[in-house]
Structures are given as structure tokens and as C-alpha cells.
Amino acid sequence: MKNNPAVHSLGHAALVVAYVSLVVWIMNNGEHWFKQEQTILGPIAILLLFVFSAAVAGSLVLGWPVMMYLDGQKKEALNFFGLTLGWLAVAMAILLVLNLK
């Protein structure tokens, strides 16, 4: 059975949403978990989290399309990338509408 690109890209987008939700949850609860002393370690940790998050989200959004592109499946790779971005846009729109209520 061949993998449906729309479903596969939805899975990637869902993983991005789940990862972002986890990072937001950690950041919202960070004050309660960590000391509130002013040291250089806090900003370093936040910047490292930002870099790590960019790598994780980037690999989820671009990893599979790049592998497809390098295997010669250029149209399919661009289609998969567009579908993933589309699913992320739908998720963002839903969250924005829910936030308005």
C-alpha cells in the first residue's frame, strides 16, 4: 500500500504542533520549576532551546521533502512540502479562532 502524501504530511504537521505545544508548556511552567536567580545560564538555555526547536521543526517540515528531492522526486517533494505547510496553516488558523473566543 502506497503512503498517501496528504496523510503523511498531516502527521509531520501534527508532530510540529505537538512539539511546539510541549515547548510552550515547558516555558509556561519554567518559573515554577527553576530558580529565579539572574544568571547567564537562563538566557543561554532559552537560546539553545530556540536553536534546538528550529532544528526539530525544520527537520519535520523539510527532512522528508529534501530526501525525496535528492532521490529525484522533485514534484512529489514540492507537493509534500506544500501540503505540510498547508496543514500547519490550518492548525494555526484553528488555534487563532479558538483564541478569539
Residue 45 lies in a domain: yes
Residue 47 is placed in which grid cell? 537560546
- Tally of domains in the chain: 1
The pTM assigned to this predicted structure is 0.85
Is 50 exceeded by the pLDDT of residue 1?
no
Q: Is residue 64 part of a domain?
A: yes
Task: Output phi, psi for 40, to 5 deg.
Answer: -75, -15
pLDDT tens-digit series, residues 33-56: 776 777 888 788 889 999 999 999
Residue 43, Ramachandran bin (φ over 0: left; ψ between -120 and 50: alpha; else beta): alpha
Bigger pLDDT: 28 vs 10: 10
Mean pLDDT of the chain: 91
* The pLDDT of residue 32 is above 80: no
> What letter represents residue 3's amino acid?
N
- Percentage, residues of the chain above pLDDT 70: 96
In a domain, 46, yes or no: yes
Q: What does the block give as the cell for 49?
A: 532551546
- Structural domain boundaries enclosing 64: 5-15+38-100
In a domain, 76, yes or no: yes
In sign, the C-alpha dihedral spanning 90, 52, 75, 8 is negative
Q: Give a yes or no: residue 29 inside a domain.
A: no
Neighbour-count burial of 60, counting CB atoms closer than 10 A to its CB (0-12 exposed, 13-18 middle, 19+ buried): buried
Is residue 2 over pLDDT 70?
A: no
